[in-house]
Structure 1
Amino acid sequence: MTAKAFASTGDMSEKKTSFTEIGRDLYAFTAEGDPNTGVIIGDDSVMVVDAQATPAMAGKVIEQIRTVTDKPIKYVVLSHYHAVRVLGASAYGASEIIASETCRAMIQERGQEDWDSEFGRFPRLFRGHESIPGLTWPTLTFERRMTLHLGRRRVDLVWLGRAHTAGDIVAWVPDQGVMFSGDIVEYHSACYCGDGHFGDWPATLDAIAAYRPRALSPGRGDALIGEAKVQEALALTRDFVTSTYRPVAEVALGGGTLKEAMAACRAVCDPKFSSYAIYEHCLPFNVARAYDEALGLDHPRIWTADRDRAMWAALQG
């Protein structure tokens, strides 16, 4: 087998962006499997959900926002701590940067390591990285739930359970029945599970389903309009997570090697998911985390640039 280019280093082509209205004054900025950003326009201000990887990348979102409103961007919400989601936050000039308490703790514990790691994985997303002023720190945090009012528009920020990370939150806009899920939900894009919690993820998807969203902006992939499309994305995400974990856990609990677990995972997942965005990038990270979780390691090990490369050489080399 030919060795694969590390992570997303071989993907340097520009992606076509879309800015889709998914409810009244609610938008999803999407880019063919690159990280999405949500936009919530209230009576008096704007909330952005997930900031992009650099201020330069965030500038593309701001350009789109300014085509529909001149209201100030008051809030930036971080669905979780990953560098490609948060390091562009400074561009928005927001009054508050909001995240869960767990997200902030993870920035403290592993934010710099994650930045160094993702910088190596996603060179295209980090073009203009010189404009990043440093780690993005929340100015406002909460444990389980926070409600904000953008004039008459209410936005609930909610921690529904562990999934893509331990600190994932969603943004729910009840007046339109619209949710911004971060990477808890993906659509025709691989779930990155390297910092995930496979055992908890399905129940967190159930918690999202209980809201019966009429539209949803996923972490990656197209904006989802209509309950049927949202339910499809929830089902596909659940299938991806369980299909990844089960064969790996079986190998791990049987005393098999990580390499054997990778082969078992491929046998199940390649036929279903190989066409998904960032599938090959995510696969070895997902297998490594699933193997650890199956053997009882609840708290994901920290990925570093060196660990990334060593794991990739072992599983994708």
Structure 2
Amino acid sequence: MAKAFASQGDMTEKAITFDEIGEGLWAFTAEGDPNSGVIIGDDSVMIIEAQATPRLAGKVIEKVRSVTDKPITHLVLTHYHAVRVLGASAYGADQIIMSDTARAMVAERGQEDWDSEFQRFPRLFEGHESIPGLTWPTTTFSGSMTVYLGRRRVDISHPGRAHTAGDAVVFVPDQNVMFTGDIVEDRSACYCGDGHFSDWGRTLDVIAARDVDAIAPGRGGALTGRKDVARAITSTRDFLDSTYAPAARVAARGGSLKDAWDAVRATCDPKFSDYAIYEHCLPFNVSRAYDEARGMDTPRIWTDKRDLEMWEQLQG
């Protein structure tokens, strides 16, 4: 029997957790669904990741209001993916911040990504009628920028290509805490369909070198303590290496995409099959790894049609 496409078979609402990972710093998580972060400053609040719809953003806002009544003034979007950005209108933030590259990717492939992810994640897009359109930043940066929420300093930077070409991380120096977006995951498959395997490991090195005390990852539980941080960075690296190396070996000998699929499954299934969204991500990951190994530096744009064709070839 063919597997349900992507996450179309996952219609169970996830249990939400809201963990304080530093003074005034919170991680909103939901059993492998996309996470959000909260930074409470002296007189205002910054949110990291908007969620897929205003409906889901409302759940983040509800948790924020359980700990502070300060206005939400800043929204940081670590990359352009629809499940991260299309709930932005709910926050009413004065500033919506992305990297320059992430904004360019909205322009290049934002609508295609929306159509693609809408098809992949029907549960996350319940209430999609309230999405007003593509989310565009009001503020962009190239290498890094700093925002002050009163006296609280927040550093936003682009540490290198990884999950996408334009990933950002958010660092709060006074608590030595970082929000990494999907560069780091915990017990969740990395989605690599728009990724850069050759750079991702070096980007993880940049994050590891910061020696932070806590991380809010893109998916999975909050990581508190350097032991948990190191474990998640190591497991993320292992997931990437275990995906790319078998695909690259197949590509080097002129094998097919289906050959790469079989080789990656043989390596990854024993280690990662119980990870959140594993079966969803794997065909997209193998396709991208195979392309990159054959010299394709820029990921091809996923469309709702290409998604289904690839899925049928590999997973269907």
Return the TM-score normalized by structure 2.
Answer: 1.00
Structure 1 residue 226 displacement after superposition: 0.2
In the alignment, which residue of structure 2 is the partner of 1:126?
A: 125
1:38 partnered with 2:41: no
In the alignment, which residue of structure 2 is the partner of 1:55?
A: 54
- SS state at 2:36 partner: strand
Structure 1 residue 130 displacement after superposition: 0.4
Mapping of residues 64-83 of structure 1, within 5 Å:
64-83=63-82
Structure 1 residue 42 displacement after superposition: 0.3
Structure 1 residue 33 displacement after superposition: 0.1
1:191 partnered with 2:170: no
In the alignment, which residue of structure 2 is the partner of 1:152?
A: 151
Counterpart-to-counterpart distance in 2, 1:33 and 1:87: 18
Structure 1 residue 169 displacement after superposition: 0.4
- SS state at 1:187 partner: coil
In the alignment, which residue of structure 2 is the partner of 1:222?
A: 221
In the alignment, which residue of structure 2 is the partner of 1:202?
A: 201
Structure 1 residue 44 displacement after superposition: 1.2
Counterpart-to-counterpart distance in 1, 2:211 and 2:50: 26
Structure 1 residue 253 displacement after superposition: 1.3
Letter in 1 for 2:211: R
1:11-42 alpha-carbon deviations (Å, 9 max, x no partner): 00010000000000000000000000000000
- SS state at 2:27 partner: strand
Counterpart-to-counterpart distance in 2, 1:258 and 1:4: 19
- SS state at 2:263 partner: helix
In the alignment, which residue of structure 2 is the partner of 1:305?
A: 304
1:49-101 alpha-carbon deviations (Å, 9 max, x no partner): 00000000000000000000010100000000000000000000000100000
- SS state at 2:241 partner: helix
Structure 1 residue 294 displacement after superposition: 0.3
Q: How many residues align?
A: 316
- SS state at 1:146 partner: strand
- SS state at 1:199 partner: helix
Counterpart-to-counterpart distance in 2, 1:254 and 1:282: 25
Counterpart-to-counterpart distance in 2, 1:186 and 1:49: 15
Counterpart-to-counterpart distance in 1, 2:24 and 2:127: 30
In the alignment, which residue of structure 1 is the partner of 2:83?
A: 84
Counterpart-to-counterpart distance in 2, 1:41 and 1:111: 30
> Runs of at least 4 residues of structure 1 off by over 6 A?
none
In the alignment, which residue of structure 1 is the partner of 2:161?
A: 162
Counterpart-to-counterpart distance in 2, 1:215 and 1:294: 33
Counterpart-to-counterpart distance in 1, 2:126 and 2:211: 38
Counterpart-to-counterpart distance in 2, 1:233 and 1:141: 29
Letter in 2 for 1:8: S
Counterpart-to-counterpart distance in 1, 2:92 and 2:147: 18
- SS state at 1:200 partner: helix
- SS state at 2:153 partner: strand
Counterpart-to-counterpart distance in 2, 1:148 and 1:140: 11
1:271-303 alpha-carbon deviations (Å, 9 max, x no partner): 000000000000000000000000000000000
1:210-254 alpha-carbon deviations (Å, 9 max, x no partner): 111100000000000000000000000000001000000100111
1:98-153 alpha-carbon deviations (Å, 9 max, x no partner): 00000000000000000000000000000000010000000000001000100110
Structure 1 residue 3 displacement after superposition: 1.2
**Unaligned 5+ runs, structure 1:** none
Letter in 1 for 2:135: T
Letter in 1 for 2:226: E
In the alignment, which residue of structure 2 is the partner of 1:105?
A: 104
Return the TM-score normalized by structure 1.
Answer: 0.99
1:21 partnered with 2:20: yes
In the alignment, which residue of structure 1 is the partner of 2:134?
A: 135
In the alignment, which residue of structure 2 is the partner of 1:7?
A: 6
Letter in 1 for 2:49: D
Counterpart-to-counterpart distance in 2, 1:83 and 1:139: 17
Counterpart-to-counterpart distance in 2, 1:69 and 1:266: 46
Structure 1 residue 182 displacement after superposition: 0.1
Structure 1 residue 162 displacement after superposition: 0.2
- SS state at 1:205 partner: helix
Structure 1 residue 310 displacement after superposition: 0.1
